[in-house]
Amino acid sequence: MSFLTVLIAALFYLATAIFVLGVLYRIWRYARTPAPLKIATTPAPVTKFGVVLRMFREVVFFESLFKSNKLLWILAVLFHYGLALVLFRHLRYFLDPVPLVVELAQPFGKYAAFAMVLGLLGLWARRFLIDRVRYVTAPSDHLMLALLVLIGLSGALTTFVAHTDVVALKDFVLGLMTFDLKPLPGDPLLVIHLLLVAVLMIVFPYSKLLHGVGIFFSPTRNMVDNPREQRHVVAWARKLEEENS
């Protein structure tokens, strides 16, 4: 087994552990932190089912962003939908046999990489061109975009320019999942691609990428608008009541 294979494998075990535990920790922290007051941004749904629909529209269609800024919305959709398709396409490396729907998605997933990178470049351009966005941009915002663009480009290059040995790659991935290491094809583009993905997974729970988790816990979006009908009191507020009612 080559040193490279062991290194990448070890890195991915580490990255996966950090990613999973980090995200779980965040979820646990958000879930544990009480929301003492009803603060849905209204008009808001008056039923739980309505809230599910609102959240669905927010997560899938970026409803609020659409209200805010159409160009930004288009760029965000290009990137996120592109990424989603690309990720879906990647399932073929993880599943054996490959399900039909993943098979069917392959051509779309291939070109989705371009949508993803295009969206990212558009989002990046905003950080230079719009004075307001430039003002709030930190170095880490540039780095994050650079990381994602490089992941997209290196991945697209292995698909469209310097083909990687996908059969060997799949063996490697399946081996990773079953703790039965197989050699990793050694082409540099693939190695770069994998390294960057591991970095992304590692920074995810500690960065603004957490927005993907946070949105589900956002009280302005996930609360039912029923404060008059149902009394809402959290534990620390109830304690306050007991102390000095």
Partner 1 sequence: MAKANFEVPEITGVTEVPEIQPDSMAHLETFRAKPEFMEALGYPGEMPENWKEKAIEAMGDMLKKYRSLQVFLDACVKCGACTDKCHYFLGTADPKNMPVARQDLLRKVYRRYFTLAGKFFPKLVGAIDLTEEVLHDWYNYYHQCSQCRRCSVFCPYGIDTAEISMAAREIMDRIGVGDKYCNEIIGKVFRIGNNLGLPEPALADTLEGLEEDVYDETGVRVRYPLDEKGAEVLLVTPSADFFAEPHVDGLMGYGKVFHEAGVSWTLSSYASEAANFGMFIGSYENMRKISLRIRKAAIDLGVKRIVFGECGHAWRVAYAFLNTLAGPFDFLDPKYPVPQHILEFTWEQIQAGKLKFDKSANDDMVVTFHDSCNVARATRMGDKPGGQFEIPRNVIKAVCNNYVDMPEGTIKEATFCCGGGGGLLTDDLMELRVKGAKPRMDALKAATDEHGVTHMAAICAICKSQFTKVIPYYGFDMDQIVSVHQLVSNAIILTGQEDEGDDEEDNAEDAA
Binding site for partner 1 (CB under 8 A): 26, 29-30, 33-39, 41-46, 58, 62, 64-65, 67-69, 72, 76, 123, 126, 130-133, 135-141, 143, 203, 206-208, 210-211, 214-215, 217-221, 225, 227-233, 236-237, 240
- Compute CA distances 188 → 74, 130, 174, whole Å: 33, 36, 20
Cα angle at 28 between 27 and 31, to 5 degrees?
80
Q: What are phi and psi of 187, to 5 degrees?
A: -70, 140
Closest to partner 1 by CB, 75 or 86: 75
Closest to partner 1 by CB, 98 or 210: 210
Closest to partner 1 by CB, 44 or 115: 44
- Nearest approach, Cβ of residue 49 and partner 1 (Å): 13
Question: What gap in Å lies between CA 65 and CA 76, rounded to an integer?
Answer: 9
- Nearest approach, Cβ of residue 112 and partner 1 (Å): 21
Closest to partner 1 by CB, 197 or 223: 223
Query: Is residue 113 within 8 Å of residue 106, measured between CB atoms?
Result: no
DSSP secondary structure letter of residue 36: -
- Nearest approach, Cβ of residue 76 and partner 1 (Å): 7
Question: What gap in Å lies between CA 59 and CA 53, rounded to an integer?
Answer: 10
**H helix intervals, the chain:** 3-32, 48-61, 63-68, 70-90, 100-129, 131-136, 139-160, 166-177, 188-203, 211-217, 219-222, 235-243
Closest to partner 1 by CB, 156 or 203: 203
Closest to partner 1 by CB, 3 or 231: 231
Query: Is residue 61 within 8 Å of residue 67, measured between CB atoms?
Result: no
